[in-house]
Structure 1
Amino acid sequence: MSKKRILYVEDDETLAFLTSDNLEQHFEVIHANNGKEAFLLFCSEPFDLCVLDIMLPDMDGFEIATEIRKRNQEIPIIFLSAKTMKEDRIKGLKLGADDYLVKPYSIEELILKIEIFLNRSQKTSDNSNQKQYVFGSFHFEPENYLLKKETQKITLTEREASLLQLFLDNPNTVLKREKILMELWGSDDYFLGRSLDVFISRLRKIIKEETHVRIENIPRVGFKLVVE
């Protein structure tokens, strides 16, 4: 079986060498040391996952991710950064990234994250006949991250689409925060919990005019999608 192809972007030569050397034991790694080179590679070659440093010359990681998401809503993206501010982590996740690891990171954790997101991506691509959902006046196509209502079309991020699908697969059921975080991120740390609140808030704004559909807070437990 051919190895999965990883686009790895890092301008620190020593760190790039060490990380690439470890990743190459499991994946085919294509390394770029600046943003423009990385974006050109992404546009010209197929990849299964992107690992992006944020502080890069020419284009930073956020800019690369924005351009990637314009062209591909499905490919997993993992940010690596020395920036520890929660605003940066939330910004990265809102751009459609799947995870955000803070330097210095564990190479074992990075490999585990990559494997989790590659497996999830493979399951999604294998399921070509994914079911579609109708709730209230919305029609939801999870494989296209598309939410339609009459003539309105809303494109969700991959994370928002996964969250909505999780709710719709469990209507009128309390979902614990830990379960949601493990399903979507494979981790339930504090910063991902804050990011979850951001995605919940966005979904609420989208469905706020639906009188028979709402996302309820269950204090100290989690959330419930109520469909009446």
Structure 2
Amino acid sequence: MANSISILLVEDEQSLGSIIAENLGAAGFQVTHVMSGEQALELLKKNEFTLLIFDVMMPGIDGFELARTVRQSDQTVPIIFLTSKTMPQDVVEGFESGGNDYLRKPFAMQELVIRIKVLVSEGRLLKKDTTPAKVSIGQYQFDSVKQQLIFNLRVQTLTAREAELLWLLYKNHQQLSSKKTILEAIWGDDNFFNSRTLDVFITKLRKLLQEDPGVQIINVRGMGYKLVW
């Protein structure tokens, strides 16, 4: 699978970017490394990539702003942030700007490789295996293949991970899905950081579903979540 994955790496530290690109290339990925958000946007106008990796703290267009710009035209390509910013509000901003994963510096290259493979697999499996494609959630229509929520003809496009989480909750609707089950199914690990990330995604899904007051994602404290309508 790796040699079919094309990656755009945006890292303004040349030495670090070269090391990351070299290691990802050794793992079988096709990597293009640029050093600014401006260069990245020019490349994205002409090329498609399987996955994007953005450093957060860059001069000019930073990683979060770059992600927001990308999401205006592409809601599905996975985005991983690399950053030394570790405050909870930074993590929240990362996901709200359109990121799918958030890796703190310094990190092990093996961990980055695993996260890339997981995100790409999630996107492919979601498109291939979710049948039926369109289901009802209260007054919403949820198209799991196109990753869209439709309410009164208004279409909202979800990220791959948002769609996967909503699909999991839908399949178990009216029943409790434990945090451990959700985290292991979607993130592969139920550690504290992933648990906080799940909370962010639940908040985002609640906002997306707020047009129908009959649809709720209930938090069963200390246990998990339940989608009801």
1:21 maps to what in 2? 22
Shift of 1:23: 0.4
SS in 1 for 2:8: strand
**TM-score, with structure 2 as normaliser:** 0.89
**Contact preservation (8 Å) 2:127, 2:144:** no
Q: Partners in 1 of 2:213 and 2:130 — Cα distance?
A: 32
**Contact preservation (8 Å) 1:79, 1:101:** yes
Q: Partners in 2 of 1:213 and 1:128 — Cα distance?
A: 21
Gaps of 5+ in 2: none
Shift of 1:169: 1.2
Shift of 1:127: 4.8
Alpha carbons of structure 1 residues 182 and 40: separation in structure 2 relative to 1, 3 Å:
farther
Q: Partners in 1 of 2:46 and 2:169 — Cα distance?
A: 37
1:10 maps to what in 2? 11
Q: Partners in 1 of 2:55 and 2:210 — Cα distance?
A: 36
**Contact preservation (8 Å) 2:75, 2:158:** no
* Structure 1 residues 44-94: Cα deviation after superposition (integer angstroms, max 9, x where no partner): 112100111011122111111111111211111100001111111111112
Query: Of 172, 180, 186, which aligns to 1:184?
Result: 186
Q: How does 1:61-210 map to 2 (within 5 A)?
A: 61-127=63-129, 131-208=133-210, 210=212
Alpha carbons of structure 1 residues 205 and 56: separation in structure 2 relative to 1, 3 Å:
closer
Alpha carbons of structure 1 residues 118 and 35: separation in structure 2 relative to 1, 3 Å:
same
Alpha carbons of structure 1 residues 127 and 61: separation in structure 2 relative to 1, 3 Å:
same
2:38 maps to what in 1? 36
**Contact preservation (8 Å) 2:85, 2:104:** yes
**Once structures 1 and 2 are overlaid, which stretch shifts more, 78-87 or 152-161?**
152-161
* Structure 1 residues 138-175: Cα deviation after superposition (integer angstroms, max 9, x where no partner): 11112333222224433334333222211111112211
1:49 maps to what in 2? 51
Q: Partners in 1 of 2:60 and 2:203 — Cα distance?
A: 33
**2:40 counterpart letter in structure 1:** A
Alpha carbons of structure 1 residues 178 and 128: separation in structure 2 relative to 1, 3 Å:
closer
**1:165 counterpart letter in structure 2:** W
Shift of 1:188: 2.8
**Contact preservation (8 Å) 2:122, 2:161:** no
**Once structures 1 and 2 are overlaid, which stretch shifts more, 141-150 or 69-78?**
141-150
Q: Partners in 1 of 2:12 and 2:98 — Cα distance?
A: 22
**Contact preservation (8 Å) 1:146, 1:154:** yes
**Contact preservation (8 Å) 2:65, 2:97:** no
**2:14 counterpart letter in structure 1:** E
Shift of 1:184: 2.8
Figure out how many residues of one structure are paired with residues of the other and give that number.
227
Gaps of 5+ in 1: none
* Structure 1 residues 10-55: Cα deviation after superposition (integer angstroms, max 9, x where no partner): 1112211211111001201100011111111122112100111011
2:60 maps to what in 1? 58
Alpha carbons of structure 1 residues 131 and 125: separation in structure 2 relative to 1, 3 Å:
closer
Shift of 1:204: 3.0
Q: Partners in 1 of 2:120 and 2:14 — Cα distance?
A: 26
